[in-house]
Amino acid sequence: MEYTLKVKVADSTVEMEFHTGEVSGDSDVGPKDLKPQLLPFYQNIKNSIMKAIAEN
């Protein structure tokens, strides 16, 4: 199973592919610039979602 997390804030959209951990987006500040800061945030969301799926 593959999951994608898409976050939209104002005019910017960021996506994380759960199975690869790849982060992409369309904001002025590229996701590559923010990946070190964003990855723990997305991993935490991923872990929470996967735990919720496993419990149901």
Pull the structure tokens for residue 17.
């592919």
Residue 11: predicted pLDDT? 72
What pLDDT score does 51 carry?
A: 84
Q: What is the pLDDT of residue 30?
A: 56
CA dist 52 → 31, 33, 45, 48 (Å): 27, 30, 11, 6
- Residue 16, C-beta contacts closer than 8 angstroms, at least 6 positions apart: 4, 5, 22, 23, 38, 42, 46
Read off the DSSP letter of residue 28.
S
Identify whether the C-beta of residue 2 lies closer than 8 Å to the C-beta of residue 46: no
> Percentage of the chain surpassing pLDDT 70?
73
Question: What pTM value is reported for the model?
Answer: 0.43
* pLDDT at residue 25, as a whole number: 72
pLDDT in tens, the chain (56 residues): 677 777 777 777 777 777 777 777 776 655 556 666 677 777 788 788 878 888 87
